[in-house]
Amino acid sequence: MTFDIDLVFKVAAIGIVVAFIDIVLTKARRDEFAQVITLVGIAAVFLVVAQFLSHFFQAVRSIFNL
Amino acid sequence: MATIAQLAGASLIATLLLAVVRQHSPSFAVPLSLAVAVAVFLFILPDLVEVVRLVQGYALRGGIADSLLATVMRVLGIAYLTEIAAGVCRDAGEAALAQRVELGGKVLILLLAVPVLNAVLTLVLRLVP
């Protein structure tokens, strides 16, 4: 099994892109859009990480007979 | 050897990314560190399975009861999950929450260990009249 660095890159990329868009929108005096973009980005990241986390919980359960 | 190189390299890359993300959008740092923790676990999963199988083999050879081994495995699983959850909480600056999780893990482990403790106590009481 290879290290799932793709997911780490994905989350980091979303974070950096959202930060960039946030800065641009804030400079353009569109603070409400900036907030919405940040919220959407966090929701997307949470979705991805939650799916990954469910994999992890299933693995721990099957190994340790929890 | 390749495994530990991969692990170290990936962790270093993740650390660099985390340093950038934490500065520019701090709310993304927690999911990112959580993802790294889970990725590391899933990466060492095959080796972990191997180790668990080894321990089970030794227990079988030593004639240790299946129920005892199952209890030990459950305790290990609870300890592992608790440690990961508490670590992520602590990373996010929620030390109090981490302590609650650890307390919960300790209570659950104690509850699991009660039958074993009972057996030991019964044995001691039988030996010492």
pLDDT single digits (tens) A1-28: 677 788 889 889 999 999 999 999 999 9
Show which residues on chain B lie within 8 Å of chain A, measured between beta carbons.
6-7, 10, 13-14, 17-18, 20-21, 24-25, 27-29, 31-32, 34-36, 38-43, 45-46, 48-49, 52, 70, 73-74, 76-78, 80-81
Mean pLDDT of chain A: 88
Give me the residues of chain B with pLDDT under 50, please: none
- Do B72 and B98 sit in the same domain of this protein? yes
- Do B7 and B63 sit in the same domain of this protein? no
- Do B18 and B73 sit in the same domain of this protein? no
Number of domains chain B is built from:
2
> Residue A44 pLDDT > 70, yes or no?
yes
- Do B65 and B125 sit in the same domain of this protein? yes
Q: Which long-range contacts (CB under 8 A, 24 or more apart) does A19-27 make?
A: A19/B21, A19/B24, A19/B25, A19/B28, A22/B25
Q: Which long-range contacts (CB under 8 A, 24 or more apart) does A21-28 make?
A: A22/B25
Among the partner residues B39, B42, B76, nearest to A64 by beta-carbon distance: B76
- Do B62 and B117 sit in the same domain of this protein? yes
Residue B100: give the domain boundaries: 48-129
- Do B77 and B120 sit in the same domain of this protein? yes
Mean pLDDT, rounded, for A36-59? 91
- Do B12 and B71 sit in the same domain of this protein? no
CB contact under 8 A, B42 and A59: yes
- Do B91 and B57 sit in the same domain of this protein? yes
